[in-house]
């Protein structure tokens, strides 16, 4: 089993087994849009089907493939997602690292007004927007038709995100990168969707 992405300036070379790498890039000018327009209907989860994408490449949140790129320096490896590497090209990307944020980093949440602010009050909107834009470019480069993204993340969340209070409250919605990837035409799944479909 292996997961890999073709080498570009923005993502990684072939990687063994369930390990992936991401590279950091400079911030761009993309605008974040994480407010009301990003609300996702529950129906999305039901209509999604991994099988409709056959063996086509998928962009994947790098932390789901074992990359320690989370805000706290850990990863979120998913056995179900890693198993797809035997039949699909998986292209790892971490939008927050791509946006130039360090690892570890102060956790951020999307605010009700659409800005992304970290727990210390710093506005991280432009870094999140840049990372989202670069994730879209990577998906286009590798002709990804779908993406598997980490649930509940302010970048990658597909069905829900935290409400901005840093109190652990989830609300329907999606992350900044998820919104950009969806707008670019990719079908989105999170790791729970993959578990439901394949296990």
- Tokens at residue 11, please? 């993502």
**Closest CB to ligand SF4 among residues 46, 72:** 72
Alpha-carbon distance of 9 to 152, in angstroms, equals 28
Is residue 163 helix, strand or coil? coil
Alpha-carbon distance of 177 to 149, in angstroms, equals 9
**Closest CB to ligand SF4 among residues 69, 116:** 69
Which range, of 58-66, 82-90, 111-119, 183-191, touches ligand SF4 by CB under 6 A? Answer: 58-66
**Closest CB to ligand SF4 among residues 52, 74:** 74
State the DSSP H helix or E strand holding residue 61, giving kind and residue range, or none if neither: strand 58-61
**Closest CB to ligand SF4 among residues 11, 61:** 61
| Residue 69 interacts with ligand SF4 (CB under 6 A): yes or no | yes
Alpha-carbon distance of 88 to 92, in angstroms, equals 12
| Residue 61 interacts with ligand SF4 (CB under 6 A): yes or no | yes
State the DSSP H helix or E strand holding residue 170, giving kind and residue range, or none if neither: strand 170-172
Among positions 74-103, residues that touch ligand SF4 (CB under 6 A) are 94-96
Alpha-carbon distance of 154 to 156, in angstroms, equals 6
From residue 12 to residue 51, the character string flagging contacts with ligand SF4 as x (rule: CB under 6 A) and all else as - is: ----------------------------------------
Q: In angstroms, give the least distance from the CB of 131 to ligand SF4.
A: 7
| Residue 110 interacts with ligand SF4 (CB under 6 A): yes or no | no
| Residue 180 interacts with ligand SF4 (CB under 6 A): yes or no | no
Q: In angstroms, give the least distance from the CB of 127 to ligand SF4.
A: 11
| Residue 58 interacts with ligand SF4 (CB under 6 A): yes or no | no
Q: Indicate the length of the chain as a whole number.
A: 199
Residue with tokens 């009301």, as numbered in its chain: 36
Q: C-alpha distances in angstroms, 186 versus 15, 54, 58, 69, 168?
A: 24, 14, 9, 23, 28
Among positions 148-167, residues that touch ligand SF4 (CB under 6 A) are 150, 153, 155-156
Alpha-carbon distance of 168 to 171, in angstroms, equals 10
Chain contacts with ligand SF4 (rule: CB under 6 A):
61-63, 69-70, 94-96, 150, 153, 155-156
């Amino acid at each position: 089993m292996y997961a890999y992405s073709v080498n570009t300036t923005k993502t990684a070379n072939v990687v063994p087994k369930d390990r992936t790498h991401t590279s950091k890039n400079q911030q761009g000018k993309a605008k974040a849009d994480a407010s009301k327009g990003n609300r996702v209907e529950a129906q999305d989860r039901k209509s999604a089907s991994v099988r409709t994408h056959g063996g086509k490449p998928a962009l994947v949140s790098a932390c789901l493939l074992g990359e320690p790129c989370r805000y706290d320096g850990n990863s979120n490896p998913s056995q179900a997602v890693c198993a797809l590497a035997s039949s699909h090209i998986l292209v790892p990307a971490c939008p927050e690292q791509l946006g130039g944020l360090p690892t570890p980093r102060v956790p951020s949440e999307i605010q009700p007004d659409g800005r992304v602010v970290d727990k210390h009050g710093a506005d991280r909107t432009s870094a999140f927007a840049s990372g989202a834009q670069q994730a879209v470019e990577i998906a286009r480069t590798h002709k990804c038709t779908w993406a598997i993204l980490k649930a509940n993340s302010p970048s990658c969340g597909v069905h829900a995100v935290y409400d901005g209070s840093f109190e652990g409250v989830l609300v329907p919605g999606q992350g900044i990168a998820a919104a950009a990837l969806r707008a670019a035409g990719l079908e989105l799944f999170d790791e729970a969707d993959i578990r439901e479909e394949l296990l």
